[in-house]
């Protein structure tokens, strides 16, 4: 009987870890899909002048390191969630704390990404900014990416 209970607990833990990984993957996939739409618009469809291209390139270079750090924080938070699930085997205080840390990491990444988009927006002409606004709004509300 102990072996059966142990296998059942192991199965439940593996299932929960897989579910958490799937959820995080969906969040990141949606973020990348939306980001790709915005990136394509900026670099292929806005007819940027040379000065705009140079200024946006500087913004993107600065943001790349910040984004990598924030994504690393999210991966760390997800690993801590998996460990908490493994330790508690239930929705206990360590799991709840780890979930809060995941949400904080995702929020920090989203805030930094929007700050980056607004910095790019400041480089654009009004007609270009309107197109960027429309693309961002569409990316955030499109059920296919959310």
CB 138 within 8 A of CB 144: no
Which of the four pLDDT bands, split at 50, 70 and 90, describes residue 30? very low
On whether residue 25 sits in a domain, the answer given is yes
On whether residue 95 sits in a domain, the answer given is yes
On whether residue 65 sits in a domain, the answer given is yes
- What's the rounded Cα separation, in Å, for the pair 43 and 26? 25
On whether residue 38 sits in a domain, the answer given is yes
pLDDT digits (tens, 9 = 90+) for 103-117: 999 999 989 988 998
Question: Containing domain of residue 20, as a range?
Answer: 2-141
On whether residue 32 sits in a domain, the answer given is yes
Residue 139 has pLDDT above 70, yes or no: yes
Q: What is the pLDDT of residue 140?
A: 78
Q: What is the pLDDT of residue 36?
A: 78
pLDDT digits (tens, 9 = 90+) for 58-89: 999 999 999 999 999 999 999 999 999 988 88
Average pLDDT over the chain reads 80
Q: How many separate domains does the chain show?
A: 1
Mean predicted confidence (pLDDT) in 21-49: 67
Q: What is the pLDDT of residue 14?
A: 57
On whether residue 146 sits in a domain, the answer given is no
Please report, for the domain that includes residue 66, its CATH number: 1.20.120.1490
């Amino acid at each position: 009987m102990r072996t059966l209970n142990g296998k059942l607990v192991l199965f439940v833990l593996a299932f929960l870890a897989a579910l958490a990984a799937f959820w995080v993957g969906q969040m990141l996939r949606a973020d990348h899909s939306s980001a790709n739409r915005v990136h394509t618009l900026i670099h292929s469809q806005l007819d940027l002048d040379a000065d705009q291209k140079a200024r946006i390139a500087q913004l993107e270079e600065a943001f790349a390191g910040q984004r990598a750090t924030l994504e690393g924080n999210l991966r760390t938070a997800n690993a801590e969630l998996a460990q908490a699930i493994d330790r508690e085997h239930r929705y206990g205080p360590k799991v709840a704390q780890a979930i809060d840390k995941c949400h904080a990491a995702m929020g920090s990444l989203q805030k930094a990404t929007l700050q980056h988009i607004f910095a790019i927006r400041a480089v654009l002409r009004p007609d270009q900014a309107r197109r960027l606004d429309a693309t961002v709004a569409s990316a955030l509300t499109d059920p296919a990416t959310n």
